[in-house]
């Protein structure tokens, strides 16, 4: 059920579920000029409350009216629950296709938390896929400096999603700077990240051995003339000798036999 009314601009409060946090000043100024010349072409949408009205859709138009010091504005008054109002606000902004990706991600997160929904339920209510919702929310895990680069148009959200596989915030910031400086596209970024991760995994696997074991390794290498690897776990371990031919195998066996005879 709805009706059209002329409402005092000062009686209207902004939508607490509005996903858009930033409003372009140039767009607002252009809208103000349009309203002055042509009037309001489309009423805003509000919900009546005990102390006035709450915006559901049309915040740019409402802001333009406030800036022009106009006293009243035409509005469609609708009856809506908090859930319906929140859903409507998100969908209305998504349809404009110029919502900041992080504003969009924050709106999904707040929507889920407020209504106690999981990603699948959120996707169904908003007409999105679960993977799309998940990928958007993941962007919020990026460091603030990288979020700023995306908002400034220096990186894309695809760059951001690729960087998130690194986990370490400092690594993400360092590589994001390189992407901007060296103008990498997403595929170049993916290749670098894969190589970077492989290097870090290899470094993680390498554990510096205690000095006494390292000294024994070096001593045996010199004496036997081959690579020696001592692996110790607790009180147990292994001594691994390397050979690359039958002749080298026989030489090592002979050396070990002579050591045993000593």
Residue 2: HSE in the Cβ half-sphere, 13 Å Cα cutoff: 12
Verify whether residue 92 is a known catalytic residue: no
Rg (CA), the chain: 32
> On the CB side of 99, how many CA atoms lie within 13 Å of its CA?
22
| Cβ pair 18, 55 in contact under 8 A | yes
Residue 46 CB contacts under 8 Å (≥ 6 apart), including other chains? 7, 12, 53, 54, 55, 56, 75, 76, 77, 78
Q: Which of 59, 121, 173, 188 is catalytic?
A: 59
Contact assessment for residue 40 and residue 32, using Cβ atoms and an 8 Å cutoff: no
Compute the distance between CA of residue 212 and CA of residue 161 in angstroms, rounded to an integer: 45
Per the CB < 8 A criterion, the answer to whether 20 and 99 are in contact is: yes
Q: Provide the annotated active-site residues.
A: 59
């Amino acid at each position: 059920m709805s009706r059209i009314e002329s409402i005092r601009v000062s009686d209207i409060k902004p939508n607490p579920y509005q996903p858009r946090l930033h409003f372009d000043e140039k767009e607002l100024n252009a809208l103000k000029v349009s309203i002055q010349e042509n009037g309001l072409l489309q009423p805003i949408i509000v919900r009546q409350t005990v102390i006035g009205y709450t915006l559901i859709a049309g915040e740019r138009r409402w802001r333009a009216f406030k800036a022009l010091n106009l006293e009243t504005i035409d509005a469609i008054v609708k009856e809506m629950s908090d859930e319906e109002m929140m859903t409507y606000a998100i969908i209305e902004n998504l349809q404009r296709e110029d919502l900041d990706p992080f504003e969009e991600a924050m709106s999904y997160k707040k929507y889920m938390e407020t209504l106690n929904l999981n990603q699948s339920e959120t996707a169904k209510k908003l007409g999105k896929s679960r993977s799309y919702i998940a990928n958007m929310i993941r962007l919020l895990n990026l460091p603030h400096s990288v979020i700023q680069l995306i908002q400034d148009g220096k990186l894309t959200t695809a760059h951001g999603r690729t960087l998130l596989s690194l986990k370490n915030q400092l690594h993400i910031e360092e590589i994001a700077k390189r992407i901007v400086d060296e103008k990498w596209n997403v595929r170049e970024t993916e290749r670098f990240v894969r190589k970077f991760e492989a290097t870090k995994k290899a470094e993680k696997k390498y554990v510096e051995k205690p000095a006494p074991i390292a000294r024994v390794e070096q001593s045996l290498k010199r004496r036997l003339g081959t690579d020696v690897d001592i692996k110790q776990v607790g009180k147990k371990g292994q001594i691994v000798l390397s050979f690359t031919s039958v002749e080298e195998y026989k030489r090592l066996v002979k050396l070990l036999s002579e050591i045993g005879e000593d």
